C-alpha cells in the first residue's frame, strides 16, 4: 500500500497521524477529511495496473486510508455487477440505464464497503471494541467484519428495526440493544458511548466515522471502470444520512483529479416522502447549518429513515456542485418499484434499495433526465434483508392436488 493520505479537520485544520483511528475532531468536533497526494498516487496507480488486479474493493488501495495491507479485513467485497437494464428501461423509454447492484456484497448491502475500511482501520489502530448506531444494514456489516477481525461490536438500533436484520447482526456476534423512539435516539446513545467508554463510533456518517465515506467512494470507481472509463451523465441515489451521496461524489472527484475521467456526473438524491429533510433543504435553498430535523419520520424504507441528514455538511454542497436535484417518493411507489425490479430485471431489492429506482420514474416524467443520457441507479440492499415488506402485497399461492387436470386452470 502507498502511504499517501492525510487526516485533517475540515473546520480547524487539526491533523492526525495516519495510523490513528479518528472520529470527529478531538479539538473542535469538526468532520475529518481524508485527503490524498494525487501526484504520489499516480506513480503507482494507473488504468493498466488497476485492470491487472482482482476486481474487488481493495484494488484501489492507494486511495484508501490504510498504512499496511496486513491490516485489511475483507470478506471479498466490491466488484458488484453493473447491470444494463432492458425491460425496466424500455417502460420508461430510456436507452442507457444501468443498475449498480450492491445487494451482491457479502452481507447483502452497500454498507460492506463502509465496514471493510472502518474495521480494517480499527485493526490498524489496535482497537478492541467498536460501537454503532444503525437501522440494521450497517450494523450487520460492521458486526460481520468485526467478527472477522476479532473485535467486539456493540450495536444500538431503533426499536422499529426489522427483526430479520437483527437476527443477522446477532448471528455475526454483534451485541444488539434496541432503543425506544426514532433513529436519532440510537444515534445519540452511540455517540454517548464513545464519549464515556472511548469506543470508536463506526456509524456510517462522516461526522462520526470518516472511514465509512472512504469505503462508499469505491462504488463510483467501479462504475467508471465498468462503463469503459466513462462517467455516467446521472447517478440516482437514495439519501438518508447523506454519506452515500458524499462518498460517491468523492470517488468521482478522485478519478477526475487523477485524470482517469474528465468530468463528474449530476446526482439525483431520492428520499422517502415520509422522511425528507434533505429534499426539503434542497428545495428551500438552505445552508447546511439551516437544515432542520424531520418530525415524526415514517417510511417503509428503514435505511433512509434518518430524521436528520447527519452528513448534510458534505452531501448538500456535493449535490449542488454536481448541478443535481432531489425528489421524494411515496411508500406505495417504493413497493411498486420493488415489484418492477424483480419482475422486469430479476433484481430482488429491499425497500431502501428500490428508493432510487422509484425516484427515477419522477425524473423521467418531469424530463429532468433525458432519455438518451447514461444513467446509473443504485440498488443498495437485498430483499432478503426484509422479506416481510413485500409479502403482504402478493396473494398466497394456490395449494392443489398432484393432478395435471387440476393444475391446468392455474397454468393457462
Give the model confidence (pLDDT) of 183-204 as tens digits.
Answer: 889 999 999 999 999 999 999 9
Q: Is residue 236 part of a domain?
A: yes
Strands 234-238 and 266-272: parallel
Residue 296: count of CB within 10 angstroms of its CB? 8
300 inside domain: yes
State pLDDT tens for residues 95-122: 999 999 999 999 999 999 999 999 999 9
- Among candidates 31, 12, 402, 57, which has minimal Cα distance to 217? 57
Work out the pLDDT band at 2, boundaries 50, 70, 90.
Answer: low
Separation between Cα atoms, residue 146 and residue 153, nearest integer Å: 6
Note whether residue 195 is domain-resident: no
- List phi, psi (to 5°) of 241: -75, -25
Question: Could you give the percent of the chain with pLDDT greater than 90?
Answer: 90
**Lateral strand order in the sheet of 175-179:** 129-133, 152-158, 175-179
Does 400 map to a domain?
no
What pLDDT shows up at residue 261?
97
Tell me the pLDDT band of 92, cut-offs 50, 70 and 90. Answer: very high
Q: What is the pLDDT of residues 175-184, one digit of tens each?
A: 999 999 888 8
Question: 300, exposed or middle or buried, with CB in 10 Å at 0-12, 13-18, 19+?
Answer: buried
Q: What is the mean pLDDT of the chain?
A: 95
Return the pLDDT at 231: 98
176, part of any domain: no
Confidence of residue 304 (pLDDT cuts 50, 70, 90): very high
pLDDT in tens, 379-391: 999 999 988 888 8
Give the residue-averaged pLDDT of 235-245.
Answer: 97
CATH number at residue 361: 3.40.50.1100
- What is the distance between the alpha carbons of residues 45 and 43, in angstroms, rounded to a whole number? 6
d(CA 118, CA 108) in angstroms, rounded, equals 17
Mean pLDDT of 267-281: 98
> Looking at the predicted structure, is the pLDDT value of residue 3 above 80?
no
Interval 245-257 mean pLDDT: 98
Let me know if residue 301 belongs to a domain: yes
368 occurs within a structural domain: yes
Question: What's the pLDDT tens digit per position in 356-376?
Answer: 999 999 999 999 999 999 999
8 Å CB contact between 172 and 145: no
pLDDT of residue 392: 81
If one counts the domains in the chain, the total is 1
Q: Which domain, by its residues, includes 273?
A: 82-108+212-391
Domain assignment present for residue 371? The answer is yes
Amino acid at each position: 500500500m502507498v502511504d499517501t493520505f492525510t487526516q485533517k479537520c475540515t473546520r480547524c485544520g487539526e491533523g492526525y497521524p495516519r495510523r490513528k483511528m479518528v472520529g470527529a475532531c478531538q479539538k473542535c468536533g469538526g468532520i475529518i477529511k481524508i485527503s490524498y497526494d494525487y501526484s504520489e498516487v499516480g506513480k503507482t496507480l494507473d488504468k493498466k495496473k488497476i485492470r491487472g488486479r482482482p476486481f474487488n474493493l481493495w484494488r484501489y488501495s492507494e486511495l484508501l486510508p490504510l498504512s499496511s495491507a496486513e491490516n485489511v479485513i475483507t470478506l471479498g467485497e466490491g466488484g458488484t455487477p453493473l447491470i444494463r437494464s432492458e425491460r425496466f428501461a424500455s417502460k420508461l423509454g430510456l436507452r442507457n440505464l444501468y443498475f449498480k447492484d450492491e445487494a451482491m456484497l457479502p452481507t447483502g448491502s452497500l454498507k460492506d464497503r463502509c465496514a471493510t475500511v472502518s474495521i480494517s482501520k480499527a485493526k490498524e489502530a489496535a482497537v478492541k471494541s467498536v460501537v454503532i448506531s444503525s437501522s440494521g444494514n450497517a450494523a450487520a456489516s460492521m458486526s460481520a467484519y468485526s467478527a472477522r477481525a476479532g473485535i467486539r461490536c456493540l450495536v444500538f438500533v431503533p426499536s422499529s428495526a426489522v427483526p430479520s436484520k437483527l437476527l443477522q447482526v446477532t448471528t455475526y456476534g454483534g451485541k444488539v440493544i434496541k432503543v425506544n423512539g426514532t433513529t436519532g435516539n440510537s444515534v445519540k446513545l452511540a455517540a454517548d458511548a464513545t464519549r464515556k467508554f472511548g469506543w470508536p463510533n463506526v456509524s456510517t456518517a462522516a461526522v462520526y466515522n470518516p472511514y465509512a465515506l472512504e469505503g462508499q467512494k469505491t462504488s463510483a470507481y467501479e462504475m467508471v471502470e465498468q462503463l469503459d472509463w466513462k462517467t455516467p451523465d446521472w447517478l440516482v441515489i437514495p439519501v438518508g444520512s447523506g454519506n452515500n451521496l458524499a462518498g460517491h461524489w468523492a470517488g468521482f472527484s478522485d478519478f477526475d483529479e487523477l485524470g482517469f475521467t474528465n468530468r463528474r456526473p449530476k446526482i439525483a438524491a431520492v428520499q422517502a416522502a415520509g422522511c425528507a429533510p434533505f429534499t426539503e433543504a434542497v428545495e428551500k435553498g438552505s445552508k447546511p447549518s439551516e437544515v432542520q430535523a424531520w418530525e415524526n419520520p415514517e417510511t417503509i424504507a428503514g435505511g433512509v429513515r434518518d430524521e436528520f441528514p447527519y452528513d448534510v455538511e458534505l452531501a448538500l454542497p456535493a449535490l449542488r456542485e454536481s448541478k443535481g436535484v432531489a425528489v421524494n417518493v411515496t411508500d406505495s411507489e417504493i413497493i411498486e418499484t420493488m415489484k418492477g425490479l424483480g419482475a422486469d430485471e430479476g433484481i430482488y431489492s429491499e425497500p431502501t434499495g428500490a428508493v432510487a429506482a422509484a425516484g427515477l420514474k419522477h425524473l423521467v416524467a418531469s424530463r429532468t433526465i433525458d432519455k438518451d443520457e447514461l444513467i446509473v441507479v443504485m440498488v443498495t440492499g437485498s430483499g432478503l434483508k426484509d422479506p416481510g415488506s413485500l409479502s403482504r402485497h402478493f396473494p398466497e399461492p394456490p395449494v392443489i392436488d398432484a393432478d395435471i387436470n387440476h393444475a391446468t386452470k392455474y397454468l393457462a
